[in-house]
């Protein structure tokens, strides 16, 4: 199976919180990332977390990492229509964060 797995789709109402989940299999992952892809565009790094951290908060974004369960989540507070995009979880296994393995992406739809 895939090394990094995500659910395909999430729909929320504007103003609600969104939680996008990801599971990974390699316990040696050093960095874990969330990338955002808007239609017709490349990927943009949203945030990342080191494998020795449990949580990271950056404005509306909160990343939670459960190393025991190999589970990563991205919470977007006060979700806006501009947050509609595909969100990719990724892991890297080298210390420099160069070799990325991506999940299949979660399409977030925000309804007004």
- Contacts made by residues 43-52, CB under 8 angstroms, sequence distance 24+: 43/88, 46/74, 46/87, 47/74, 48/97
Tokens, residue 81: 């229509």
CB closer to another protein out of 55 and 99: 99
The minimum distance between CB 62 and another protein, in angstroms, equals 19
CB closer to another protein out of 7 and 73: 7
The minimum distance between CB 112 and another protein, in angstroms, equals 27
Tokens, residue 108: 């977030």
The minimum distance between CB 57 and another protein, in angstroms, equals 18
């Amino acid at each position: 199976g895939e090394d990094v797995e995500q659910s395909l789709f999430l729909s929320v109402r504007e103003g609600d919180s969104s939680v996008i989940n990801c599971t990974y299999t390699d316990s040696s992952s050093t960095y874990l990332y969330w990338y955002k892809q808007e239609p017709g565009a490349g990927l943009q790094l949203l945030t990342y977390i080191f494998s020795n951290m449990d949580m990271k908060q950056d404005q509306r974004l909160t990343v939670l990492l459960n190393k025991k369960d190999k589970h990563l989540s991205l919470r977007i507070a006060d979700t806006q229509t501009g947050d509609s995009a595909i969100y990719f979880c990724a892991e890297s296994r080298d210390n420099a964060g160069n070799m990325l393995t991506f999940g299949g992406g979660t399409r977030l739809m925000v309804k007004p």
